[in-house]
A and B are shown apart, each in its own frame.
Chain A
Amino acid sequence: MSSIADYALPNPINQNRSGVIGRPVDRYEGPLKVSGTAPYANEAKTPSPPTYGVMVGASIGCGDVVAVDDAAAKAAPGVKLVWHLFDQPPGQGAAGAKAYVQSQASADPVFVSPRVRYFGQPVALVVADTLENAAAAAALVQVSYAEDPEAAYAFEPAEAARRDNDPDSSIGEFEAAFAAAPVRLDETYSTPIQNHCQMEPCATTAWWEGEKVVIHTSVQMLKGPQHLVAETLQIDRHNVHLRSLYVGGGFGGKGSSYEDLALAALASRTLGQPVKIALSRQQMFNATVHRPATVQRVRLGATPDGRLTALSLIAATHCNRNAPFIERAAAFSRALYAAPNRLTGHRLQLMDIAVASAMRAPGEASGMVSLEAAMDELAEQLGLDPIELRIKNEPDRHPETGQPYSARQLVECMRDGAEKFGWVRRNPKPGMTRDGRWLVGIGMAAAIRGNFLLPAKAAMRADADGFIRLQQGMTDIGTGSYTILAQITAETMGVPLEKVVVEIGDSGFAPAPGSGGQFGAATAGSGALAAGMALRARLTAMAVGDPDSPLYGAPPEAVEFRDGLITVENRSETIAALVQRLAPAGLEVEGASTPAADIRQYASYSHGAQFAEVGVDPVTGEVRLRRMLGVFACGRILNEKTARSQITGGMIWGVGTALTETNRVDPRYGSLTSQDLGSYFPPVHADIANLDAYFLPEVDDKANPLGIKGVGEAGICGAAAAIANAVYNACGARVRDYPLTPDRVLAAMGAL
């Protein structure tokens, strides 16, 4: 087990002798993506012409399937198979069964229970020779239901309850301190259901090669889905070859797999033909997952000079009763500001609506919009500048655990950003700036997002052709995994990027956890570094032990890898020559990284500051972003270009949270009202005016051997609050329910 002290020791990444680390190189797989030749899951080339599956979704929210009339569908042209409760896929394991004890998933058989747990849940599958025939036949399947009269379709925050596995965090005496505070704020904020809206709908293509099923699917993590197929189909996991080569957006929504996965494999087994199943955009809304709504009560107590004496955030949220999940909107608040008396926690209501799950920065993305707006309100009450208020409450250690921060430049981000953005021009009095029909205002918010590290493996090989090949069961969901893994490989092995091949997205490769929780780069990258170090050790041993090598007899610790050479002082040979001579078939090694045993000694977070300028139309209540700047400190930056893209992308998610994105449950039916992109509104290009982000120099040598921290989710954190605060500054309307749609802004302006 390594120690956290090892992270600060010299290694190829923190030495960065070739300068590949940090360089803004183009995306490794970019040429394929800009030419449309990167094959996504639904586009995998099948060994014979595919058949097409279309799933039928439940038209009730909760209850039981009581009858299925599939006669018309079965008689329809081209139909090869119709499956449902009364004609089940054969050969499925019992629900929850695990033949392999260490499986990361248990059997999840399809159509074996009459129970409908949420609107849109797949209740039947039709497979036909063409997409057109499959879709037409699917519409002919008639399903009858008995709806459950007890179904809970309405979110009642007051009924949400504390869960045993998520106790409140209580420090000091919050209630007493709050009651005694000279300055108090007590406000409630809400956030709506949001949908991931990955541009690529979930899809699976499957075919069989003898005993083995080959699956191309669109997931963020490989092991769980691979094991789910094995357990559900009752086959050995080694006979499930699952690939997720290119993923058209994940954002947490492809952290789990859906019915298309097992059904494609099952149908292909039954038919002996490749099967492709893609979810429709409508199915993506109700039949996958979403970020649940929250109602958050924020209470802040402060001294007249702006020191927080009491801080509380209690967040109520909901999930499907069969899939417990807590949007932990209060968790971040335990790490952000100093206050001696604190009370934070979560309340959960079990409902019978679509499944709630992780969506980009789960917790922070919801919670920061309340606390960071509340801080703006408190600053106004105190007559303090919002940045000054935050700086006054900057902790020197984690306020609840007492851990030192691994690296924290929150204050630096706010100060540097304030200068670059022109914060000094902000008039603290709202409604004072006009430009044409627009009232103009600016606002800011802090950003914080937890940083994580998980165990990972990787395989690296040196081939006689001079290429270094990295293979890892990692995914690239648009984050840039391919690219940063290529950079880490090149820098570790001292070879040019052109001599690196990265292969990921394959369950047959050395496993890494995949993409999620912005841990991907640190986790997979540390695994790649470990593999590289193992390969260097092997190559070094070969060279110094080989009388034909110029390095023969050299002390191993003096060997260096640079410019494609393995070298000691003025003696060197190419890696290719060494491999050609001693391992002509190539040399492959596996490396593994595990988090340092004492990694919890430090509190590790990405930090940032968000600044926004908006225009508010005082007649209509419409809000338009005018400019936005994010300043972040996220450890070492592996690739300036892709990291900036991650951050600006996250910030734009914040724009959507602030202004456009919302879904709602119709409590009469239990379904989400917006079921397409014509009524659910991710931001479009016109919503995004001048928006940029940059990083402060930082090396976090307590986080991982790479000295990096996550950038994938940090950008969304606080972004929506900065916009809401700017709206207030523009027009004096304090909207505490997100998003800030025209009706809400008009209401807050007193117009309604």
Chain B
Amino acid sequence: MRPFTYERAESASGAAKSAAETPGARFLAGGTNLLDLMKLEIERPAHLIDVGRLPLARIEETPDGGLRIGAVVSNSAAASDRRVRTRYPVLTHALVAGASPQLRNKATVGGNLMQRTRCAYFYDPAKPCNKRDPGAGCSALGGDARGNAILGASEACVAVHPSDMAVALAALDAAVETVAPAGRTRTIPIDALHRLPGETPHVETSLEPGELVTAVVLPPPPEGRQEYRKVRDRASYAGGLFSLALAGGRLALGAVALKPWRATQAEAALAAGATPAEAADAELAAARGTGRNAFKITLARRVVVDALEGGPTR
């Protein structure tokens, strides 16, 4: 790890201000992804702003019947909250499908959104990677990239976003609240938070420099079935090969793209009376494999169809 300076933030706006004013600053919350990457020197912050003790650890009702989950609420606390469990079970299911209990106890909701890809080539500093080193090239393309993206990828990057939680948030139509260095707050729809790689895969979100996520806001729970499914190589403690969140009529896919993938084409097809298979095909028409990950297209189709048809989850 490179040496860094450290401050414990006293307010969200102060943290944002400090982040904007201090070169090389990064927010530190749970640390479970940032420290992982700092040890490999993939992340080399000069200054850490610890937001972990900010008063953003509450889950509260919103006036419209939704929930606001503070950005430093732990993944475990979010999953265990009775309101989340009963009104947004898809979120609990997604949260407990991710990482391990120890990591979920430490990782925060905000940090979960901001975590970076687990692409093996991103993690190996000996290999070219446009995310680590813009312009270096993508070594995952043409490499051993069985887990990589089938939707929204580019020649510059075929990584996927690793979050389970974010897939559920996409299906729930959640939004994130942020505070900018000048103190300005704004609300960003979850679908607009993460960016597809395009030519600039190192730019991962729509956040401005220094902008801090302060909360996730859930709209009132949708009518209808909520479900999270995750396909993986190991029964637990493993990233997904594919995941799916269903919340009422909304559908989101995970492990297919560099962002949680809201399946708007499928939703539209279903709304127009399409069968589950037709809906899946509509969404996956644009899917492309880059080698060993080609199976994910078929896998995604099968799971989408099965989930829409109400196949048993156990």
How far is B120's CA from A60's CA once the two chains are assembled, in angstroms? 16
Judge whether A676 and B302 touch: CB under 8 Å. no
Which one of A619, A622, A679, A747 has the greatest number of beta carbons of chain B within 10 Å? A619
Given known contacts A136-B2, A684-B237, is B124 in contact with A671 (CB within 8 Å)?
A: yes
- Chain B nearest CB, measured from A625 CB (Å): 9
Judge whether A437 and B235 touch: CB under 8 Å. no
Given known contacts A674-B120, A678-B118, A751-B302, is B1 in contact with A684 (CB within 8 Å)?
A: no
Stretch at the interface among A227-235, A486-494, A738-746: A738-746
Judge whether B302 and A620 touch: CB under 8 Å. yes
Q: Which residue of B lies closest to A741 (CB)?
A: B233
How far is B35's CA from A412's CA once the two chains are assembled, in angstroms? 54
Judge whether A681 and B295 touch: CB under 8 Å. no
- Chain A nearest CB, measured from B187 CB (Å): 33
Interchain residue pairs with CB less than 8 A apart (22) = A60-B126, A135-B39, A136-B3, A282-B40, A437-B312, A619-B302, A619-B303, A619-B306, A622-B231, A659-B234, A664-B144, A669-B127, A678-B239, A679-B123, A684-B234, A684-B236, A684-B237, A686-B237, A741-B233, A743-B146, A747-B295, A751-B298
How far is B232's CA from A742's CA once the two chains are assembled, in angstroms? 8
- Chain B nearest CB, measured from A194 CB (Å): 14
- Chain B nearest CB, measured from A102 CB (Å): 41
Contacts of A659 in B (CB 8 A): 233-234
**4 A-B pairs with least C-beta separation:** A59-B126, A686-B236, A686-B235, A743-B295
Which one of B1, B2, B235, B237 has the greatest number of beta carbons of chain A within 10 Å? B235
Judge whether B299 and A746 touch: CB under 8 Å. yes
How far is B114's CA from A241's CA once the two chains are assembled, in angstroms? 50
Within 8 Å of chain A (Cβ to Cβ): is B238? yes
Within 8 Å of chain B (Cβ to Cβ): is A660? yes
- B236-284 at interface with A (beta carbon < 8 Å): 236-239, 241-242
Within 8 Å of chain B (Cβ to Cβ): is A687? yes
Contact with B along A493-529 (1 / 0, CB 8 A): 0000000000000000000000000000000000000
Residue from B120, B231, B236 in contact with A620 in the complex, judged by beta carbons closer than 8 Å:
B231
Judge whether A752 and B298 touch: CB under 8 Å. yes
Judge whether A624 and B235 touch: CB under 8 Å. yes
Within 8 Å of chain A (Cβ to Cβ): is B21? no
- B111-156 at interface with A (beta carbon < 8 Å): 118, 120, 123-127, 139, 142-144, 146
Judge whether B295 and A675 touch: CB under 8 Å. no
How far is B232's CA from A436's CA once the two chains are assembled, in angstroms? 19
How far is B142's CA from A19's CA once the two chains are assembled, in angstroms? 63
How far is B125's CA from A622's CA once the two chains are assembled, in angstroms? 32
- Chain B nearest CB, measured from A373 CB (Å): 20
- Chain A nearest CB, measured from B158 CB (Å): 14
Within 8 Å of chain A (Cβ to Cβ): is B102? no
Residue from A668, A673, A687, A742 in contact with B120 in the complex, judged by beta carbons closer than 8 Å:
A673
Residue from B124, B139, B235 in contact with A684 in the complex, judged by beta carbons closer than 8 Å:
B235
Judge whether A620 and B233 touch: CB under 8 Å. no
Judge whether B126 and A119 touch: CB under 8 Å. yes
User: How would you classify the secondary structure of chain A's contact residues: helix, strand, loop or mixed?
Assistant: loop
- B60-96 at interface with A (beta carbon < 8 Å): none
Q: Which residue of B lies closest to A138 (CB)?
A: B41
- B8-48 at interface with A (beta carbon < 8 Å): 39-41
Judge whether A681 and B120 touch: CB under 8 Å. no
How far is B140's CA from A668's CA once the two chains are assembled, in angstroms? 11
How far is B124's CA from A77's CA once the two chains are assembled, in angstroms? 26
Judge whether A743 and B126 touch: CB under 8 Å. no
Within 8 Å of chain A (Cβ to Cβ): is B311? yes
Judge whether A743 and B299 touch: CB under 8 Å. yes
How far is B238's CA from A659's CA once the two chains are assembled, in angstroms? 13
- Chain A nearest CB, measured from B101 CB (Å): 11
Judge whether A681 and B302 touch: CB under 8 Å. no
Judge whether B123 and A676 touch: CB under 8 Å. yes
How far is B125's CA from A676's CA once the two chains are assembled, in angstroms? 13
**Chain B: interface residue count, which band?**
35 or more
Within 8 Å of chain A (Cβ to Cβ): is B313? yes
Within 8 Å of chain B (Cβ to Cβ): is A654? no
Judge whether B311 and A619 touch: CB under 8 Å. yes
Contacts of A743 in B (CB 8 A): 146, 241, 295, 299
How far is B124's CA from A318's CA once the two chains are assembled, in angstroms? 24
How far is B124's CA from A674's CA once the two chains are assembled, in angstroms? 9
Judge whether A132 and B299 touch: CB under 8 Å. no
Judge whether A135 and B1 touch: CB under 8 Å. yes
Contacts of A624 in B (CB 8 A): 235
- A666-712 at interface with B (beta carbon < 8 Å): 666, 668-669, 671, 673-676, 678-679, 681, 683-687
How far is B302's CA from A742's CA once the two chains are assembled, in angstroms? 12
Q: Which residue of A lies closest to B2 (CB)?
A: A136
Judge whether A742 and B231 touch: CB under 8 Å. yes
Given known contacts A437-B312, A666-B143, A673-B144, is B237 in contact with A621 (CB within 8 Å)?
A: no
Given known contacts A681-B233, A742-B241, is B1 in contact with A620 (CB within 8 Å)?
A: no
- Chain B nearest CB, measured from A620 CB (Å): 5
How far is B145's CA from A664's CA once the two chains are assembled, in angstroms? 11
Given known contacts A132-B1, A620-B302, A686-B236, is B120 in contact with A675 (CB within 8 Å)?
A: yes
Within 8 Å of chain B (Cβ to Cβ): is A139? yes
How far is B258's CA from A56's CA once the two chains are assembled, in angstroms? 32
Contact with A along B296-314 (1 / 0, CB 8 A): 0011001100100001111
How far is B306's CA from A490's CA once the two chains are assembled, in angstroms? 62
Residue from B40, B232, B314 in contact with A437 in the complex, judged by beta carbons closer than 8 Å:
B314
Contacts of B144 in A (CB 8 A): 664, 666, 673
How far is B237's CA from A59's CA once the two chains are assembled, in angstroms? 29
Contacts of B237 in A (CB 8 A): 684, 686
Judge whether A671 and B41 touch: CB under 8 Å. no
Judge whether B234 and A687 touch: CB under 8 Å. yes
Given known contacts A669-B127, A675-B120, is B299 in contact with A620 (CB within 8 Å)?
A: yes
- B218-240 at interface with A (beta carbon < 8 Å): 231-239
Judge whether A668 and B298 touch: CB under 8 Å. no
- A123-147 at interface with B (beta carbon < 8 Å): 132, 135-136, 139
Contacts of B298 in A (CB 8 A): 746, 751-752
Q: Which residue of A lies closest to B313 (CB)?
A: A437
Judge whether A660 and B302 touch: CB under 8 Å. no
- Chain B nearest CB, measured from A683 CB (Å): 7
Q: Which residue of B lies closest to A682 (CB)?
A: B234
- A420-477 at interface with B (beta carbon < 8 Å): 436-437
- Chain B nearest CB, measured from A750 CB (Å): 11
- Chain A nearest CB, measured from B180 CB (Å): 33
Contacts of A684 in B (CB 8 A): 234-238
Judge whether A681 and B1 touch: CB under 8 Å. no
Contacts of A619 in B (CB 8 A): 302-303, 306, 311
How far is B128's CA from A666's CA once the two chains are assembled, in angstroms? 13
Contacts of B314 in A (CB 8 A): 436-437
How far is B37's CA from A282's CA once the two chains are assembled, in angstroms? 13
How far is B289's CA from A679's CA once the two chains are assembled, in angstroms? 20
20 more A-B contacts (CB under 8 A) besides A77-B3, A673-B120, A743-B299?
A: A132-B1, A136-B1, A437-B312, A619-B302, A620-B242, A620-B299, A622-B232, A624-B235, A659-B234, A668-B143, A669-B126, A673-B143, A678-B239, A679-B120, A686-B237, A741-B233, A743-B146, A746-B299, A746-B302, A751-B298
Contacts of B303 in A (CB 8 A): 619-620
Contacts of B306 in A (CB 8 A): 619
- Chain A nearest CB, measured from B14 CB (Å): 28
Judge whether A746 and B311 touch: CB under 8 Å. no
- Chain B nearest CB, measured from A738 CB (Å): 13
How far is B204's CA from A484's CA once the two chains are assembled, in angstroms? 57
Contacts of B3 in A (CB 8 A): 77, 136
Contacts of B127 in A (CB 8 A): 669, 671
Contacts of A437 in B (CB 8 A): 311-314
- A397-436 at interface with B (beta carbon < 8 Å): 436
Q: Which residue of B lies closest to A622 (CB)?
A: B231
- Chain A nearest CB, measured from B262 CB (Å): 22
How far is B126's CA from A59's CA once the two chains are assembled, in angstroms? 5
Judge whether B235 and A687 touch: CB under 8 Å. yes
Judge whether B295 and A746 touch: CB under 8 Å. yes
